[in-house]
Amino acid sequence: MEVARYIAIRPLDVGPPPAAGLAEEGDRIDAIREDLVASAKELPAMGLERADRVADIPADPSQGGFVTLPEFNALLLEPPVGTPKEAMQEKLDESYVLARNFTLSLPETALGEPVSAADVRPILDVLADRTGVRESHEEGNRGAGTVVAVLDTGCDGAHREFEGRKIEFAEIPQDLKVPLNRVDAFDAGTHGTHVTGIAAGEVVGIAPETDLINASVMESDTLTTTALRVMKALYWLVELLKEDRYKGKPVILNMSLGFDPNDIPAEEQEGLEDTLKAMHLLIQQLVVSRQILPVVAIGNSGPDTSCAPGFFPESLAVGAIDYEDASWPDSSGGFGPTGFDQECNPDIVGYGVNVVSAVPGSSNGEPNYERKNGTSMATPYVTGVAALVAAKTGLQGLELREHLIDNAIALGLEPARGGSGLARYCL
C-alpha cells in the first residue's frame, strides 16, 4: 500500500516572534523547531516518532514519523499506513493546515542516472559476442538498407549519436484536426532519444546505418499518449513509406509504450474494447499490407501483467533482462486478455537494465547520456538486432518475427519471464 505524506503548515505569526536581525536568525530557527516539536507532542502516540531527516523515517509502513521544517514553520508527516488525516489534524494545533503531499513523479524509466560522455562504452564493448552484434558489424552489416521507425517522445537529432544522419521526423498533435508538424528532430523529453540511441545511435546503437524515422507522440510532462495519436502516427508512417527511397526496405517499428487494460478504472472502460480492437486491426494491417514488424515493450508491472499493443499476436513483445541474463523483476509477462492473445508474453527479451544511451543536449560541450531501466530500453535492443538480421536476409514482417524468435538465445527462464530468449543476430 502506498505511504501517504502530509505537510502540516501554520501561519508565520504562530510560534516564536520574527528575528530582530540576521544575527538572531539561527536562534529563531532553533526556537521554531522547538515550538514545532512541542506542538507535535501527541503525534508519537499515533505512531509518528520524530526523526531528524525524512530518510530516517522507518521504511516499515506500519510505523510512521515526522520531521520539522522550521524554515517553513511546518511539519512533514508520514503516518503509519491507514492513519486518517482527520485523526492527525485532531492531534495538532488548530493553526495547522494539513495537506496531502501528492508526489509528482515521472515514470521510473524517465528517471535516468547521468553518465559522463567519457564513460560511455561503444556498444560492441558492452554486448557479449554471443549476441552476434559484433559479428554483424565486423561483416560490415550495420543495418544499412533497413528502416527503423520509432514512436516516442521524439529524438534529439543534434546529438552526437545521430551526427550526419537524416531523421525523418514529425510531431504528431493530439488533435486530429491540427496538421502534423514536420520539423528538425527534437525530443520533448528524454525517453525517445534514449530509445532511438539504443536502436540506431552511432556509438551506443546496434544498427547505426539504418534509415531513421521518428514520430513524437508523447506529452513531455506526463510521458503519455493516446491510442488516437499513435494511430495517427502510424498512418503518417505508411504514407511516408510510399516514397521511392523506402521501397523494398524492411521496416521495423519500435513502440516502447503501451497500456494494461486491467489498469483502466471501471468507470473509464467504455470504449476500451473498440479501442483495443481498432489498434489490433491497424497493427494487423501494418504487418500484412506493408510487412512492417512491430517490436513493442510488454510493460514494467511485473509478472501476470501485459500491455497493448505488445500483447497482440502480430507484435514482437519484448521483456527485459539484465546483462547477467537475469529477468528484470518489473518486466511484465503472462497472457493478454482473452480474444486478443493466446500466446504467453513476452515473445523475446532484450537488455533493459542499466542501459546507457543518449539523452538530449550537452553539458560542458559533451553530449548527454543516461543509464535507464525498462522494457522500453529492451525493445530498441531487439529492434536494432532485427534491423541487422533484416539487412542481411531481407526478411520482413512476420517472417522476420519468426526468425528472431526461432534463433533467440535460450536463457532457461520460464516463458513468462524470458520468452524464447535473448534476441541475437544469427542467420
Partner 1 sequence: MIVFQDAGAAAKSDLATQEKASSEQRRQLVEHLEQVGCAGEVEVPPASPLPSLLVEGSERGLDECLKAPGVKEVLKISEDIDLKAL
Which residues are part of the catalytic machinery?
152, 191, 376
Say whether residue 326 binds partner 1 (CB under 8 A).
no
Say whether residue 306 binds partner 1 (CB under 8 A).
no
Closest approach of partner 1 to the CB of residue 333, in Å? 13
Neighbouring residues of 117: CB distance < 8 A, sequence distance ≥ 6: 366, 367, 368, 369
Say whether residue 253 binds partner 1 (CB under 8 A).
no
Q: How far apart are CA 149 and CA 171, in angstroms?
A: 13
Residues between 110 and 169 with contacts to partner 1, criterion CB under 8 A: 110, 152-153
Beta strands (DSSP E) in 32-160 are: 48-50, 64-69, 74-78, 97-100, 113-115, 147-152
- Neighbour tally for 332: CB within 10 Å: 28
Closest approach of partner 1 to the CB of residue 289, in Å? 6
Closest approach of partner 1 to the CB of residue 16, in Å? 47
Q: How far apart are CA 335 and CA 325, in angstroms?
A: 22
Say whether residue 315 binds partner 1 (CB under 8 A).
no
- Using CB under 8 A as the binding criterion, the count of chain residues that bind partner 1 stands at 53
Which run of H or of E encompasses 366?
A: strand 366-372
Q: By C-beta, is 148 or 282 nearer to partner 1?
A: 282
Say whether residue 231 binds partner 1 (CB under 8 A).
yes
Q: How far apart are CA 411 and CA 409, in angstroms?
A: 6
Residues between 350 and 379 with contacts to partner 1, criterion CB under 8 A: 374-376, 379
The span of 35-43, 70-78, 234-242, 415-423 binding partner 1 (CB under 8 A) equals 234-242
Q: By C-beta, is 53 or 242 nearer to partner 1?
A: 242
Closest approach of partner 1 to the CB of residue 226, in Å? 6
* Nearest residue to 219 via CA among 206, 203, 230: 230
Closest approach of partner 1 to the CB of residue 280, in Å? 10
Q: By C-beta, is 225 or 383 nearer to partner 1?
A: 225
Q: By C-beta, is 281 or 326 nearer to partner 1?
A: 281
Query: Which amino acid belongs to residue 332?
Result: S
* In the block, residue with C-alpha cell 531527516: 53
Q: How far apart are CA 266 and CA 128, in angstroms?
A: 45
Task: Choose, by CB under 8 A, the member of 123, 253, 257, 389 that binds partner 1.
Answer: 257
Say whether residue 334 binds partner 1 (CB under 8 A).
no
Edge-first strand order for the sheet with 316-321 is 167-171, 211-216, 147-152, 251-255, 292-297, 316-321, 348-351
List 318's β-bridge partners, or say none: 297, 348
- The DSSP symbol for 155 reads -
Residues between 168 and 227 with contacts to partner 1, criterion CB under 8 A: 176-177, 189, 191, 218, 222-227
Task: Choose, by CB under 8 A, the member of 238, 398, 411, 427 that binds partner 1.
Answer: 238
Binding string, 264-303, against partner 1, x = CB under 8 A?
A: x---x-xxx-xx-xx--xx--xx-xxx------xxxx---
Q: Is 245 exposed, middle or buried (0-12, 13-18, 19+ CB in 10 A)?
A: exposed
Which cell is 134 given? Answer: 559484433
Q: How far apart are CA 228 and CA 250, in angstroms?
A: 25
Closest approach of partner 1 to the CB of residue 331, in Å? 10
Closest approach of partner 1 to the CB of residue 220, in Å? 10
* Nearest residue to 155 via CA among 364, 360, 318, 383: 360
Are β-strands 167-171 and 292-297 bridged in parallel, bridged antiparallel, or unpaired?
Answer: unpaired
Q: Point out which residues bind partner 1 (CB under 8 A).
A: 107, 109-110, 152-153, 176-177, 189, 191, 218, 222-228, 230-232, 235, 238-239, 242, 256-259, 264, 268, 270-272, 274-275, 277-278, 281-282, 285-286, 288-290, 297-300, 307, 374-376, 379
